[in-house]
Amino acid sequence: MSRTIEATRFSFRQLLELDGCTRCGECVKGCTTFTARPEREEIAPLRKIERVHSFLRAQTLGPLGRLFGYRRATEERLQMFSTGTYDCTLCGRCNVICPVNIETR
């Protein structure tokens, strides 16, 4: 069963940043939490951005979104996202390292 993510919970800037992420991976290199637990990919800042982006795109694009590889938010995918988000230490290194200044926290 899929769940709906309300885009209204995000600021205009946050929505722009989801598309502004270049997927360069610099935030992942600087993430001390991910460095300590590299097997837990859901902790990586880049993966969290990609997941929210996918959830929102899948909702708004419907079947076309699935064609482009976007996946809706299922209970399992939301749980994985939540775990990665709450395991973040909020140190802010990913934010400082980001070459396009995305507010990753």
Task: Tell me the pLDDT tens digit for each residue of 15-38.
Answer: 899 889 999 999 999 899 999 998
Distances (CA, A) of 32 to 38, 40, 74, 93: 10, 12, 28, 8
- Rounded mean pLDDT, 44-55: 88
Q: Please check whether residue 25 is in contact with residue 89, taking contact to mean a CB–CB distance below 8 angstroms.
A: no
Distances (CA, A) of 75 to 47, 48, 49, 78, 86: 17, 16, 18, 5, 16
Let me know how long the chain is.
105
State pTM to two decimals.
Answer: 0.79
